[in-house]
Chains A and B, each alone.
Chain A
């Protein structure tokens, strides 16, 4: 990285400045000699030269680098440098030729900048395309070997033979690998349900407190404190769940005569619930605040108490917003990784008992991709299959949530 920075400092920057200087000088002397007013300020002509010099040569350099790194054709270093310098000199020469009094340099710069801005905003689109295609492509590979239907409905997840093959060992006499994802999704469902059972009541009542009962001063304190909960790194929550909460849950379960696993679903569920409290509370608070004041006042004027106003007027009106907040929190919980990786189990198990060890989609993805298998092994590909389903679920939750909140906004704001 230092080398690149050095090249940049001693190579590109002085060249750019030289081009700027030449262009500006040309415009200044041209203005004096011909006595005609140039269309733009001299500095614009300087930038004009810089653009003509730098953009084509950087583009050439970029193409060479891409070629080199994708191993199609490795461009030798001297050829790389000479080509770039040649292109730069050509660009500079062309720019100098073009600089006359009626060249609209400022408009040219504006256009170039706009193209640059548009290119930058295409990166976000490219990211999406990259996500969709990389995951779709790899999961297609997976689903060409594993039946999609048996992936969705199967209740046995046993990729161990795929692991043996991936590790290069003969697995012909072992049982066939099974990729039935039902127990994994059941585990995800169980843990997120527990999380929502914690987060929705606490978050909702916190929102009610902040919007209806708290003074502005208290609200200014409470809201950031709640938001700290969402800012704590998930790996920290995971450690907390594994080291503190899990033993606590096991002990509590023993004291009432129940058998609990150390990798039970309850402790990551509870901790994840704590983490998503602010997602529920912040948005719900905003929504309750956005309800027109006259609805609140009308209800109070009829003699309703504040709690009755809340229950019968404000909450029903805010319901779409609250639902969308809960959906957002849900999508957050489903995609949450570190807490479950550290505190939930690895073994997929189909069970209704939250004290049993369970696993989730994200745990299986991490487990499949941090092992030593070759990239094309079936278990690695299964991570992309699971990731694909995860992506679809979270996107759907988001879209539904944004539609619901838009309806709410239309109605009241």
Chain B
């Protein structure tokens, strides 16, 4: 009987161990998922306020004096509330629209970043009087929050209320196009060679080992390579989209090769044999049959590798792409910046108003990545064939 109770006790203990082990493993998943939720909600919480921007209604005088000294165009007590960036644009606006000259207009104009922060209820450096002034303006309905379209139409700026993503977005598009132009043809060709043509010898094995090692090299090392080879040896302009695109294409090459090889090898051998049986040459087999059949897989891999490239920052910092770019670049050899580099620059700024803009930039970046990955998943589910 004693033995029996001990046995029951032992079984109970073992079952308890089973339950706690199971709980432990579930809690690991829950922990990881809650990290993700916490992280995403934190970004949204920090960034959603930047969707709105404060504007103030004020009278603007356009005349010869104010074109000379834009500060004079608004009344003295308003000049602290109106964005200096807006005032600086006055000469340009008059030039573009000469009718404005010698008129006084009542306009909604961008507010200073500190005013914006106050309206959004965030810490700010405004004095008591200024706050009182803003409160009275608010009662009159002369201060309001509107959708922050400037964030998407402006380039970078030293003034937070004027800073936008446009030049970074255009830089990203340039870099991405260049990356694709270099890495997709070379990557797909390499994969075709390795998968369909290469004999099994030492040369092939060296290439294979080499590609696997390249995939594991830290991205910052690719930045060093870009700096030493492309910029210092070949004279590609520093911080240009070309330097960034070349560097990133070398980095995404192994990923494209590996995913393309997987797509090619998923096409069954019977297809190859059938094509060869009716007299197709090796290249005809690939071009007429294997490539069309594996195209969805190749495209999925390419999209995913491009999504990685969009988010990559470290190598681009090394090739100098953290430059201050107020207007969008118009060529691949001009200085440019990319989305993640812009996020990095803003996050390093000491002005509080940049924080929410950084977070909004992150939300934009994450949405783009989400979109790309969703496209990849849809492509895979829709076109991929199971043999």
Contact = CB atoms under 8 A, between A and B. Distances in A.
A236 B347 CA distance: 10
Interface string A121-138: 101110110110011011
A203 B225 CA distance: 33
B216 to A, nearest CB: 4
Given A124-B257, A135-B221, A235-B344, A337 B313 contact: yes
B42 interface: yes
Interface string A302-316: 000111101100000
A71 interface: yes
Given A125-B206, A127-B225, A394 B218 contact: yes
Contact of A229 (B35, B217, B282, B355): B35
Interface in A29-71: 69-71
A229 B366 CA distance: 12
A201 B25 CA distance: 9
Contacts of B28: 201-206, 208-209
A213 B29 CA distance: 12
A71 B220 contact: no
A97 B6 CA distance: 98
A125 B220 contact: no
Given A109-B283, A121-B189, A228-B36, A387 B210 contact: no
Interface string B339-381: 0110110011000000100110010011001000100000000
A239 B368 CA distance: 18
Decide if the interface of chain B is mainly helix, strand, loop or mixed. helix
Contacts of B220: 335, 337, 362, 365-366, 387, 390
B189 A117 contact: yes
Interface in A120-156: 120-121, 123-125, 127-128, 130-131, 134-135, 137-138
A21 interface: no
Given A124-B210, A228-B36, A335 B18 contact: no
B120 to A, nearest CB: 17
A286 interface: no
Interface string B199-239: 00000001100111110111111111101110011110000
Given A205-B28, A277-B32, A387-B221, A331 B216 contact: yes
A351 B17 CA distance: 39
A337 B25 contact: no
Contact of B365 (A116, A202, A203, A236): A236
Nearest to B174: A1
Contacts of A204: 28
Interface stretch (A167-175, A240-248, A252-260): A240-248
Contact of B216 (A203, A342, A398): A398
Contacts of A311: 21
Contact of A238 (B43, B207, B347): B347
A127 B250 contact: yes
Interface in A328-364: 328, 331-332, 334-338, 341-342, 362
A266 to B, nearest CB: 15
A255 B42 CA distance: 22
Given A306-B18, A391-B221, A117 B33 contact: no
Interface stretch (B55-63, B85-93, B96-104, B314-322): B314-322
B32 A226 contact: yes
A308 B14 contact: yes
B25 A213 contact: yes
A313 B254 CA distance: 36
A341 B235 CA distance: 28
B46 A121 contact: no
Interface string B144-172: 00000000000000000000000000000
Interface size bucket, B side? 35 or more
Nearest to B39: A240
A76 interface: no
B186 A123 contact: yes
A298 interface: no
A305 B362 contact: no
Contact of B343 (A135, A239, A331): A239
Contact of A402 (B186, B197, B212, B307): B212
Count chain A CB atoms within 10 A of each CB in B24, B194, B228 and give the residue with the most. B228
Given A1-B331, A305-B15, A335 B218 contact: yes
Contacts of B358: 239
A233 interface: yes
Contacts of B283: 109-110, 113-114
Contacts of A228: 36
B261 to A, nearest CB: 11
A410 B202 CA distance: 21
Nearest to A334: B218
A107 B232 CA distance: 42
B26 A209 contact: yes
A17 interface: no
B263 interface: no
A370 B324 CA distance: 13
Contacts of B340: 233, 235-236, 338
B174 to A, nearest CB: 8
Nearest to B20: A307
A235 B227 contact: no
Given A117-B193, A120-B185, A305-B18, A205 B216 contact: no
A123 B347 CA distance: 36
A337 B343 contact: no
Nearest first, the 9 closest Cβ-Cβ pairs linking A and B are A335-B218, A233-B311, A205-B28, A134-B228, A307-B21, A120-B189, A337-B314, A117-B193, A209-B25
Given A208-B28, A243-B46, 7 more contacts: A135-B221, A222-B33, A236-B340, A305-B17, A337-B314, A337-B317, A366-B314
Interface of B: 14-15, 17-18, 21-22, 24-29, 31-33, 35-36, 39, 42-43, 46, 174, 178, 185-186, 189-190, 192-194, 197-198, 206-207, 210-214, 216-225, 227-229, 232-235, 250, 253-254, 257, 281-283, 307-308, 310-314, 317-318, 320, 322, 331-332, 340-341, 343-344, 347-348, 355, 358-359, 362, 365-366, 369, 373
5 contacts: A113-B283, A116-B189, A130-B225, A395-B217, A398-B212
Interface of A: 1-2, 69-71, 106-107, 109-110, 113-114, 116-118, 120-121, 123-125, 127-128, 130-131, 134-135, 137-138, 201-206, 208-210, 212-213, 222, 225-226, 228-229, 231-236, 238-240, 242-244, 274, 277, 281, 305-308, 310-311, 328, 331-332, 334-338, 341-342, 362, 365-366, 369-370, 375, 383-384, 387, 390-391, 394-395, 398-399, 402
